[in-house]
C-alpha cells in the first residue's frame, strides 16, 4: 500500500469543507474508519475508490442522508451537525445522484422549484416561476427551455435540470456521483464546460468517478478511499494514473488494458449490407477468430441496434449474416444461440440477470443442457458446473446461493459472462461490458475478455470509453448516424481519430 500523506501548508481559510475522523459502523462491518476529508474552495475535488470503499457512505453523511457514529463536519470553518438532508441543503450542499429525481410530467421550471420553501407563491404563479427559472438557467449557461416537459428531454438535459435544481437552492458545494455514466461523449464535454463555468463563479465540486481520463481532465485534487479507510490526498499534478489506480485497489496494476496482439485466424462472423430503415444502413464488416473487434460511436449512432439485429433481438430489413462461411438467419435470440452467438447486454440488471435470484440460478438458466438429463436438473452436475464457473471467473461471493443483487457490479458482470461462455459459442458480443464497475473490476474483466479472445472466440466490443475501445481492440468500426464511418486499426489510431469519425468528419 502506498505511504499515507496529506497536502501540507494549506491555509484554513482556503477550506470550504472539512470532515474530521468520520466513522460509520453497520452490523458486522465498519463502512468508514476514522476518515478525514477536506476540500478547497472553488476547486473540483475527485473522490475515488472501488465499489464498497466508502465513497457513497461519506457523501451520504455530508448530504445529511446518513448519520455518523463519530467525527466532525466543518463548513467554512464552523462546526455543523446534519440530522437531515434539509440541514445539509441549508448549508449550501447539494448532491446529484446517478438516479435522477425528477417528475416526468412536470416542466423544467416546476421541477426546479418543487419543494422550495420560499416558493408557495411561485408555484401558484406559473409565469413568474418560468421567468425565474429562465434567469437561473441563463446565469449558469444551461441551454434548456424552462417550460419544456421533463419527459421530452434527453438524459443529459434531465441531468442539467437536476443541477439547476441544486443551484436554485444556492448550493456552494455540489456533489456529483458518476455524472457521465449515461452521457455521450459530446454531452460529457458539455458537462465539463458547465463545471468549469461553475468553478469560475466560485462553486466547489466533489466529483465521484471511476473514469481516470475524466478525473485528470476536470479535477484539481483527489482523495482515495479503500475498504473504508483514507489512503491518500493528492494534488493531481503530483500523481499519475498508475499511482492513483494502485492506491484505489490496494495493489499494483501494471496494465489496465492487457491486450495481446497475435496472428488472427480466419473470419468467423461476416455481416453484409445490413440495413434497418431509419436505424442503420449498409453495414458490412467481418470479425476474425481471436479478434476483439471494437465498435465505437456516439450514443444513438446505432451500434447497439446493429448488434441486437445480429443476435435476433431486433428485426432488420435486409442484409446477410455468415458464420464460418454458412449463411444464417436469426429471427430470435434462440436462433442466434443455436448458431453459436452470445450477447451480453448493456443493462445487466434489466436484461442480463434475474436480480431476485441466486448466482446459481442465473448461471444455470442458459446452460440447462449441460446440467440436465431427460428434462431434470442433476443437482451434482449443477453444483460442479456453478462452482467451476465461480472459480474460473473469480466471482467474489459468500456462496453460490447468494442473491445476485448482493454482488458488486463487477461480480454481477462476471455472472452474466459465465452464463454465455460456458456454452459452445463462436461469437461473443459485449455491449458496454465495464460500464458502472470500479477500476479493479474493470482490469479483471479486461483480462477475462483477452483470455476469451486467445481461446479463439470472435468478440465484438461496444464501448463509449475511448481508452477502452482503443486499448482492447484489434480493429475498430466507427458508426456515425447508422452508417459505417470507417474501420481502423486500433494500434494506429488515437482518440481524436475515433471522435472525428464518430462526429461525421472524414479528414483523418
- List pLDDT tens digits, range 387-398: 999 998 989 888
Contact 384, 406 (CB under 8 A): no
Contact 160, 179 (CB under 8 A): no
Backbone angles phi, psi at 396, to 5 degrees: -85, 110
Pairing of strands 458-462, 292-297: parallel
Which residues does residue 274 pair with via DSSP β-bridges, in sequence order?
283
pLDDT tens-place values along the chain, 508 residues long = 444 444 444 445 589 999 999 999 988 889 999 999 999 999 999 999 987 789 999 999 999 999 999 999 999 999 999 999 999 999 999 998 877 889 999 999 999 988 765 444 544 578 888 999 999 998 888 889 999 999 999 888 898 899 999 888 889 999 999 888 778 777 888 899 999 989 998 999 999 998 888 999 999 999 999 889 999 999 999 999 888 988 888 777 667 788 888 788 999 999 999 999 999 999 999 999 999 999 999 888 999 999 999 999 999 999 999 999 999 999 999 999 999 999 998 888 778 888 889 999 999 887 887 888 877 878 888 889 899 999 989 898 889 999 998 888 889 999 999 888 888 899 999 999 998 788 888 889 999 999 999 999 999 999 988 899 999 999 999 999 999 999 999 999 998 899 889 888 766 5
Q: Is 380 left (phi over 0), alpha (psi -120 to 50) or beta?
A: alpha
Helix (H, G, I), strand (E, B) or coil at 491: helix
- If we measure between CA atoms, which residue out of 193, 213, 223, 207 comes closest to residue 38? 223
Give the CATH class of 265-340+425-508.
alpha beta
Where does CATH 3.40.50.300 sit in the chain?
Answer: 1-92+172-252, 265-340+425-508
Does the domain at 1-92+172-252 match CATH 3.40.50.300? Answer given as: yes
Please state, in angstroms and rounded to a whole number, the distance separating the CA atoms of residues 33 and 229: 5
Helix (H, G, I), strand (E, B) or coil at 505: coil
Cα-based distances in Å from 499 to 68, 296, 429, 447: 45, 9, 22, 26
Cell of 179: 455524472
Please state, in angstroms and rounded to a whole number, the distance separating the CA atoms of residues 131 and 135: 6
Contact 46, 223 (CB under 8 A): yes
For 8, counting Cβ atoms within 10 Å of its Cβ (0-12 exposed, 13-18 middle, 19+ buried), the class is: exposed
Amino acid at each position: 500500500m502506498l505511504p499515507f500523506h496529506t497536502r501540507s501548508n494549506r491555509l484554513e481559510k482556503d477550506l470550504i469543507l472539512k470532515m474530521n475522523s468520520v466513522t460509520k459502523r453497520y452490523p458486522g462491518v465498519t463502512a468508514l474508519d476514522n476518515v478525514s476529508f477536506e476540500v478547497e474552495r472553488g476547486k473540483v475535488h475527485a473522490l475515488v475508490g472501488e465499489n464498497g470503499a466508502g465513497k457513497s457512505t461519506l457523501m451520504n453523511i455530508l448530504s445529511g442522508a446518513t448519520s455518523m457514529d463519530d467525527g466532525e463536519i466543518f463548513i467554512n470553518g464552523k462546526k455543523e451537525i446534519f440530522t437531515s438532508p434539509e440541514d445539509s441543503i441549508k448549508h449550501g450542499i447539494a448532491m446529484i445522484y446517478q438516479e435522477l429525481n425528477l417528475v416526468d410530467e412536470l416542466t423544467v421550471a416546476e421541477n426546479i422549484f418543487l419543494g422550495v420553501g420560499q416558493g408557495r407563491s411561485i408555484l401558484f404563479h406559473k409565469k413568474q416561476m418560468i421567468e425565474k427559472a429562465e434567469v437561473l438557467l441563463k446565469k449558469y449557461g444551461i441551454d434548456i427551455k424552462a417550460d419544456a416537459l421533463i419527459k421530452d428531454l434527453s438524459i443529459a438535459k434531465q441531468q442539467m435540470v437536476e443541477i439547476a435544481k441544486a443551484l436554485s437552492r444556492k448550493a456552494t458545494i455540489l456533489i456529483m456521483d458518476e455524472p457521465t455514466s449515461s452521457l455521450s461523449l459530446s454531452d460529457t464535454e458539455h458537462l465539463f464546460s458547465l463545471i468549469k463555468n461553475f468553478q469560475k463563479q466560485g462553486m466547489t465540486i466533489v466529483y465521484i468517478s471511476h473514469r481516470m481520463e475524466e478525473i485528470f481532465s476536470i479535477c484539481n485534487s483527489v482523495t482515495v478511499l479503500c475498504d473504508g479507510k483514507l489512503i491518500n490526498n493528492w494534488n493531481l499534478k503530483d500523481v499519475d494514473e498508475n499511482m492513483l489506480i494502485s492506491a484505489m485497489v490496494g495493489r499494483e496494476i501494471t496494465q489496465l488494458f492487457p491486450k495481446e496482439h497475435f496472428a488472427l485466424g480466419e473470419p468467423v462472423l461476416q455481416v453484409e449490407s445490413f440495413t434497418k430503415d431509419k436505424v442503420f444502413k449498409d453495414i458490412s464488416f467481418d470479425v476474425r477468430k481471436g479478434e476483439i473487434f471494437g465498435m465505437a460511436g456516439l450514443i444513438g449512432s446505432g451500434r447497439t441496434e446493429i448488434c441486437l439485429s445480429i443476435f435476433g433481438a431486433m428485426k432488420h430489413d435486409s442484409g446477410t449474416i455468415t458464420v464460418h462461411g454458412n449463411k444464417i438467419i436469426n429471427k430470435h435470440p434462440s436462433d442466434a444461440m443455436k448458431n453459436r452467438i452470445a450477447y451480453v447486454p448493456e443493462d445487466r440488471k434489466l436484461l442480463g440477470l434475474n436480480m431476485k435470484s441466486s448466482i446459481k440460478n442465473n448461471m444455470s438458466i442458459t446452460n440447462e443442457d449441460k446440467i440436465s438429463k431427460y428434462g431434470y436438473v442433476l443437482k451434482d452436475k449443477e453444483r460442479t458446473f456453478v462452482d467451476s464457473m465461480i472459480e474460473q471467473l473469480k466471482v467474489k461471493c459468500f456462496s453460490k446461493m447468494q442473491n445476485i443483487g448482493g454482488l458488486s457490479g463487477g461480480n454481477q458482470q462476471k455472472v452474466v459472462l459465465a452464463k454465455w461462455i460456458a456454452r459452445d459459442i463462436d461469437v461473443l458480443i459485449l455491449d458496454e461490458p465495464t460500464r458502472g464497475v470500479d477500476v479493479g473490476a474493470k482490469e479483471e474483466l479486461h483480462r477475462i475478455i483477452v483470455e476469451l479472445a486467445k481461446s479463439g472466440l470472435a468478440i465484438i466490443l461496444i464501448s463509449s470509453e475511448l481508452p477502452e475501445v482503443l486499448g482492447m481492440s484489434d480493429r475498430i468500426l466507427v458508426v456515425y448516424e447508422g452508417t459505417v464511418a470507417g474501420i481502423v486499426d486500433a494500434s494506429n489510431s488515437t482518440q481524436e481519430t475515433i471522435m472525428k469519425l464518430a462526429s461525421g468528419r472524414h479528414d483523418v
